[in-house]
Structure 1
Amino acid sequence: MSGVLLLTRSELDNQRLARSLAELGVRTRSMPLLHIEPQLESPAQRELLLDIDRYHAVIVVSPVAARLGLERLDEYWPQMPVGLEWFAVGQSTAAVLQAAGLPAQAPAQGQDSEALMALARWQALLLTRHLRVLIWRGVGGREYLAEQIRNLGGRVDYLELYRRCAADKLPSALAEAADAGVTGILVLSVQALEYWHQAAAEQWLQQAGWRCWVPSQRVADRAAALGCRDIIVCSGADDSAVIEAVKAHPLT
């Protein structure tokens, strides 16, 4: 019998992915590594949303950012602002925006900042004089985008909508997962990887031998630096990318 794959996204995301993997005969176990804590809206953040039509583009970095940002936007803009370009890091994020009627663009291949910046429409937008961009994100992260825009003379503001915290009782949950036959793990961010490493503690040497699926080379490099010995790089972080990687590199 093959090993068990530990899914570490939110419980809702894990359940959805688990159903698809079960159709392939892959056994899974759910254990979120991160807890998403929405941020209270500050007066400065309120101004960013009230003035959103002054920006040329909005970049949304995750489905969570899309959902929380749209909830806030709805409070101030009964009708969606016009004249904005919407970009998403990943097709899953784009789908949330598109469901709200926003024509969001996302890379067809790749789900990172570099792939987004390679979009033809984004390259054209970078030629705009006094370019103003608003990035919807969690606290921290995605500095590469801002650096590139500022280097070309543009302005970047952040609407930070949530904070990622370590999930409760990770050490005991990891021990239970190991006892349940887990031999593989899906880790979709450097922060989640760090939480896994810290929670594993004295069991890290053993768990670092689990097959580890990650969404990008950046996360893979950090996993290798921490001692992970069996790393599979997916073509992105969405369900389809993970499923294809698991099919290509099944647990034995």
Structure 2
Amino acid sequence: MVTSPNNAPLAGRRILVSRPEPRAEETRRALEQAGARSRALPLIAIQPRTLDGRERSLIQELDNFRKIIAVSPNAARLLLEQADDWWPQWPVGLEWWGPGDGTARVFRDAGLPGQAPPSGHDSEALLSCPAFQPEAVAGEKVLIARGDRGRELLRNTLADRGARVEVLPLYERTPIDWPEATLRENLTTFDPDTVLALSGETLKRLLEVGQNADSKLRERCLVVPVERVAQQARDAGFRDVRVAPAMSPDGLIDACRASPSNAE
């Protein structure tokens, strides 16, 4: 069913997407299909790491693990790319987990039984699942695929619950240095009523680049992934902060639809 432009859920909205590629462009297209005018301005780049010998051995020994956790769709994709060289057939008996359904879907698209918490999309939601309670994980080997930096909540909590945890850093996050003219064009001239900043690191970078490029930044509605990042945004002076119910296109559209439009 095609929605007419005037009846589209985000008709008249101007939304800036600041998540890393390729998700930035995917999200921008989804928002435009929902009627918004949208631009993508990634502030962080995801760069695959060259793995050392110990890290490669973790992939070669995937069948020694019971649970595989990827903390993001990027982590899941890079894990599968690396493992494809060593595993023409995936080992059986493993549980493949993500903190949200977007990550689990990457596994399912590869033919693996990707799982995610029934609600929520963060480490806390994952740790609340029965599969990660002490009686379930004690003595199990768990591999966490992630970036080179990140929260230690998963690693530390699972270790405290008796799991034998290994961390596999698959990518680096590097800031993108846009020319000042590009920042002003996307922030001041485009004048978005809503900005998507879907990680704490992206929020930090948004504050850095907006310092000189956008005097109205903190007046704009901000959509964030979880309450922890929402509190960081409020502490930084944002007055209208919305937590997305999910990181899927529908979840982000719902968060944007709930936010007020400044469009004329």
State whether TM-score is above 0.5.
Answer: yes
- Structure 2: distance between partners of 1:228 and 1:98: 37
1:146 aligns with 2:131: no
Q: Which residue, out of 21, 27, 33, partners 2:37?
A: 27
Q: Report the equivalent of 1:184.
A: 194
Structure 2 SS opposite 1:102:
coil
CA 1:159–1:90 in structure 2 vs 1: closer, same or farther (change >3 Å)? same
SS of match in other structure, 1:76 = coil
SS in 2 for 1:9: coil
Give the partner amino acid of 2:224: V
Cα 1:112–1:84 change in 2 (3 A) is same
Q: Give the corresponding residue for 2:4.
A: none
Q: 1:226 — aligned with what?
A: 236
For 1:91 and 1:83, locate their aligned partners in 2 and report how far apart those are by CA, in whole Å.
20
Q: 1:129 to 1:210 in 2, by over 3 A?
A: closer
Q: Tell me what 2:89 maps to.
A: 79
* Deviation for aligned residue 1:202: 3.4
- Describe the shift of the 1:166–1:128 C-alpha distance in structure 2 as closer, same or farther (beyond 3 A): closer
For these two proteins, the number of residue pairs brought into alignment is: 251
User: RMSD value over aligned CA atoms?
Assistant: 1.9
Deviations along 1:30-64, whole A, 9 cap, x unmatched?
11111111100110111111111111111011111
Alignment partners' CA distance in 2, 1:39 and 1:101 = 25
Q: Which residue of 1 aligns with 2:79?
A: 69
State whether residues 33 and 170 of structure 1, in contact with CA within 8 Å, keep that contact through their aligned partners in structure 2: no
Alignment partner, residue 7 of structure 2: none
Q: Give yes or no for contact 1:185–1:213 (8 Å, CA) kept in 2.
A: yes
Distance 2:210 2:198 in 1: 17
> Please, which moves more after superposition, 15-24 or 210-219?
15-24
Structure-2 change in CA distance of 1:88 and 1:170 (3 Å) = farther
Displacement of 1:25 = 2.2
1:159 is matched with 168
Amino acid corresponding to residue 5 of structure 1 in structure 2: I
- Secondary structure of the 1:212 match is strand
Q: Is the 8 A contact 1:6 1:31 kept in 2?
A: yes
In 2: Cα distance, 1:105 partner to 1:64 partner: 16
Look up the match of 2:27: 17
In the TM superposition, 1:50-199 aligns within 5 A as 50-123=60-133, 126-169=135-178, 171-177=180-186, 178-199=188-209
List runs of 5+ in structure 2 lacking aligned partners: 1-10
| Structure 1 alignment gaps of length 5 or more | none
Relative distance call for 1:4 and 1:196 in structure 2 (3 A) is same
Inter-CA distance 28–150: structure 2 relative to 1 (3 Å threshold): same
Cα distance in structure 2, aligned partners of 1:105 and 1:196: 32
> Is the 8 Å Cα contact of residues 171 and 200 (structure 1) preserved in structure 2?
no
Shift of 1:160: 0.5
Query: How many Å separate the matches in 1 of 2:122 and 2:249?
Result: 15
Query: Structure 2 vs 1, CA of residues 171 and 184 (structure 1 numbering), >3 Å: closer, same or farther?
Result: farther
The 8 Å contact of residues 197 and 204 in structure 1, kept in 2 or not, is answered as no
The percent of aligned pairs where both chains have the same amino acid is 36
Q: Normalized against structure 2, the TM-score is what?
A: 0.88
Counterpart Cα distance in 1 of 2:54 and 2:121: 29
CA distance in 2, matches of 1:227, 1:203: 16
